[in-house]
Structure 1
């Protein structure tokens, strides 16, 4: 898999997660699929703010991967050379958290997404093309 394809996959998955977080922040009753299912319906206001914060962080991570993949934000390229390793670490942590979640829905939906994000961010970080 090429760096560009990996960057596109990572960014596409990140966009889906961002949309999910925004939906939670706007009151979608999908809490059972996030934060260990602690809030099974609509998130309380404090969790909605956290969901928005997570969306912003994820957008930043997606931009780092796009920059390292040389697909967008070219002015960040030098920064992305080291920052992409934070993205990899974040993705690994996210995978672990989703795999150990008490929420079956979170494990079923978001753990596979997080694992693919680990793989694709690692390919981008290492800079290998597997064509």
Structure 2
């Protein structure tokens, strides 16, 4: 099995790509068909705020992955980080389902595999191993 730092780095890379994507949406890029249900080519103000919140959450999610892999100190405790990693595994699994019901075919084609990959990466991080605190 690959070491946890590999799963954490891959998760962070995907989250960084999503953050760049959300930043482009905030800036008015015509990529709205890939996000938020695909109803808008260019996001309205409320959804741009949602994209900004998403970027902040992605940073927290990335920190959780890095803490679980012991690459940065845990914000609260190792036990809290372990639980948070399981919660994020569930969150991304739910994301697979939610993106699956999107009316936007483009969003389904891009975001289902992305959410599935993140769910798998966080699952690998969540599973108990001897190197976790």
TM-score between the two structures when normalised by the length of structure 2: 0.88
> What does 1:48-59 align with in structure 2 at a 5 Å threshold?
48-59=48-59
* Cα shift readout 1:48-98 (whole Å, capped 9, x = no counterpart): 0111011111111111111101122x1435231221122111111111112
CA distance in 2, matches of 1:58, 1:47: 16
Quote the residue 1:110 is aligned against. Answer: 111
Quote the residue 1:66 is aligned against. Answer: 66
The 8 Å contact of residues 68 and 82 in structure 2, kept in 1 or not, is answered as yes
CA RMSD, 1 decimal? 1.5
Q: CA deviation at 1:128?
A: 4.3
Tell me, which stretches of 5 or more residues in structure 2 are unaligned?
none
Tell me, which stretches of 5 or more residues in structure 1 are unaligned?
none
The 8 Å contact of residues 36 and 106 in structure 1, kept in 2 or not, is answered as yes
> What does 1:1-131 align with in structure 2 at a 5 Å threshold?
1-39=2-40, 41-72=41-72, 74-76=73-75, 77-78=77-78, 79-128=80-129
TM-score between the two structures when normalised by the length of structure 1: 0.89
Instruction: Write 1 or 2 for the structure with the bigger share of helix.
Output: 1
The 8 Å contact of residues 33 and 103 in structure 1, kept in 2 or not, is answered as yes
Helix, strand or coil at the partner of 1:12: helix
